[in-house]
Amino acid sequence: MNVKKKIYLISLIFFLIDLLTKTLILTFENHLPITVINNFFYIDKITNEGAAFSILNGHTIIFIIIAIIMLIYIDRNLLKDVKTKLDIISYSLLIGGIVGNLFDRIFYKEVIDFLSFNIFGYMFPVFNLADTFICIGIFIIIIKLLKGEKNENSSTRK
């Protein structure tokens, strides 16, 4: 199996995990919120028509277009440089997360969020697994790029 197919297969798995969790939230929304760890972690259904922190709330079509453009860009430009298992996982997380939130925007006209944290009295904005996948994927890619630049700079100095 070629690398691109592996990435898309793993992305599908991440998307399905996100879809399953959101389906469970919708199924049991009458029983929410659930306290997982008192004064720290809750599961509660919140919907969001915007991006993080409800930025551009109500502009769903813009986010659909941006997601599609990002998926095309990743496919045509970034997947060419995939060399390691960590690359495969990071791009799979990124694609799976983008598709997860894109699915919500297309079918529900909003994103379903449900992971709620109270951190030292601050109620952190509620998010979902797709958001988590995107953040972890981007974090790994950035760290790898920074380490790559560092390695290239140190090898050119010798």
- Say if residue 145 is exposed, middle or buried (CB neighbours under 10 Å; 0-12, 13-18, 19+): exposed
Backbone angles phi, psi at 10, to 5 degrees: -65, -35
Token pair of 151, please?
């390695």
Query: Looking at the DSSP assignment, which residues form a beta bridge with residue 7?
Result: none
The CA–CA distances, whole Å, from 135 to 55, 61, 75, 84, 148 equal: 17, 22, 18, 19, 20
50 sits in which H/E element: none
Token pair of 95, please?
């694609």
Q: What is the DSSP letter of 77?
A: I
Quick check: is 113 catalytic? yes
Quick check: is 87 catalytic? no
Which entry of 18, 87, 104, 131 is annotated as an active-site residue? 131
Give the integer Cα–Cα distance in Å for 25 and 81: 37
Q: Which residues are catalytic?
A: 113, 131
